[in-house]
Structure 1
C-alpha cells in the first residue's frame, strides 16, 4: 500500500480518535497505523498530505495532529459524526 491508498477521511478519523478517544489510546499517527496496517512513514506522509489540504493542523509534530474545521466537515459529510458531536 502507498500513501495514495490512505484517504483524507481515514486521516481525519484518526485525528478524531486521538482528540476524543480514551487517554493512553495513542497519537493520531498510531491510530492511523492501526486502521490501515501501514508503516509509520507511509502514514506520516498521508497525514502531511491531509495537512496540506487543510483538513488537519498540528503544533509540534504531525504525529499529534488534530482536526480543522474542513476536517470536521469532511467527517460530517461522510456520516462519521453529527455536527454537534465535535466541539
Structure 2
C-alpha cells in the first residue's frame, strides 16, 4: 500500500481481496482510513490506515494494517498478542 491507487482501500470504495463479503465497513473516526468488522463477532476486524507522517510512532508514519481476532491484536507472524487491546479508532 503505497501508491495513489491504494486510496480506494483507505476510503472504503475497494474491498481488500480475501475480505469476507459479510464484513461491514465504516470510516475510521480519525478520518485516516477504513475499518472492516465481522458482524457476527465485533472482536474480529481489520483497520487500514493511511499513516501519519507526524506520528511519534515510526510504525504509524506510513500506511499500515491493524488486525484483531476475538478482541486481541494479531502480530506480524499472525499470532494473537496476549493482553492486547485494539486501537480506539
TM-score normalised to structure 2 length: 0.30
Which of the pair has more CA radius of gyration? 2
Query: Which of the pair has the greater relative contact order for Cα pairs under 8 Å at 6+ separation?
Result: 1
